[in-house]
């Protein structure tokens, strides 16, 4: 196999990798905020359920979670699994896993805010929702961006775990080519792809962080 053919096949796998990356972020970031609200709820039952969920998501391997999401419908409910479900299972597995991590990051940021800001907003006539979304949340985002960036970069590398449910993302294709051609070249090319992608993500997150610099 020549290099151009290899690059073409790996680029096709990279499309799937990017798709997993963006779908996971789009789903897990808002879901993580909702889970954070549950984690901080005064309702002990809701707080207990959410805390248990976060504990399970953080305490078990993502690979195992993907297998549960993929095989669970068949073994638990007897639902037949279609071929197209594998990518959906990856989206679900990644989203619920990363939402748990983002929830704890959100919680740390929210709890770090001084109580005086809530009191000042109340005196100025802001409602609780207005206080949170207009005053607290923008500052929280500024504070948690470095932690979010670390998770986002980790997500890029974690996309390679999609192979466990037979999703042909870039790393899976690299392994197939390397096995067939008995060469390390596909792995080196894949490493370059991952590094460039991570570099783009890091630069983008750094620019977002600079845009938030007006919150001191």
Written in H, E and C, the secondary structure of 150-171 is: HHHHHHHHHHHHHHHHCCCCHH
Helix (H) or strand (E) holding 6: helix 3-39
Whether 130 is covered by a domain: the verdict is: no
pLDDT for the residue 77:
82
* Structure confidence at residue 214 (pLDDT): 62
- Is residue 178, in this structure, part of any structural domain at all? yes
The three-point CA angle 69-83-59 to 5° equals: 15
Q: Does residue 56 lie in a domain region? A: yes
| CA angle, 198 then 187 then 156, to 5° | 25
* Contact call for residues 70 and 86 (beta carbons, < 8 A): yes
Q: How many domains does the chain have?
A: 1
Confidence (pLDDT) at 32: 95
Q: pLDDT under 70 in the chain at which residues?
A: 1, 214-216
Q: Is 54 within the bounds of a domain? A: yes
Quote the pLDDT of residue 152: 94
Q: Cα–Cα distance between 163 and 171 in angstroms, integer?
A: 8
What pLDDT score was predicted for residue 1?
67
Q: What is the CA radius of gyration of the chain?
A: 21
DSSP letter (8 states) at residue 196: H
In a domain, 129, yes or no: no
Q: 156 and 198 in contact (C-beta within 8 Å)?
A: yes
Residue 54's alpha-carbon distances to 21, 35, 162, in angstroms, are 21, 9, 21
Task: Determine, yes or no, domain membership for 96.
Answer: yes
Q: Is residue 124 part of a domain?
A: no
CATH number of the CATH domain containing 12: 1.10.3720.10
Q: How far apart are CA 83 and CA 64, in angstroms?
A: 19
Q: Are 26 and 99 in contact (CB under 8 A)?
A: no
The residue range of the domain holding 191 is 3-111+145-211
Residue 132 maps to a domain: no
């Amino acid at each position: 196999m020549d290099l151009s053919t290899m690059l073409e096949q790996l680029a096709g796998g990279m499309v799937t990798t990017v798709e997993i990356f963006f779908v996971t972020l789009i789903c897990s970031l808002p879901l993580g905020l909702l889970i954070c609200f549950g984690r901080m709820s005064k309702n002990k039952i809701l707080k207990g359920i959410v805390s248990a969920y976060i504990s399970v998501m953080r305490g078990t391997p993502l690979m195992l979670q993907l297998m549960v999401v993929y095989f669970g419908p068949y073994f638990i409910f007897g639902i037949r699994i279609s071929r197209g479900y594998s990518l959906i299972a990856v989206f679900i597995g990644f989203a619920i896993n990363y939402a748990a991590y983002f929830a704890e990051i959100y919680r740390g940021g929210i709890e770090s805010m001084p109580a005086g800001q809530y009191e000042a907003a109340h005196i100025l006539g802001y409602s609780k929702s207005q206080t949170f979304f207009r005053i607290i949340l923008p500052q929280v985002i500024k504070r948690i961006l470095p932690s979010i960036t670390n998770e986002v970069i980790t997500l890029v590398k974690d996309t390679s775990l999609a192979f466990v449910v037979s999703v042909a993302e870039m790393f899976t294709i690299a392994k197939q080519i390397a096995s067939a051609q008995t060469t390390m070249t596909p792995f080196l090319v894949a490493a370059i792809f991952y590094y460039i992608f991570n570099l783009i993500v890091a630069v983008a997150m750094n620019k977002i962080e600079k845009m938030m610099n007006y919150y001191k």
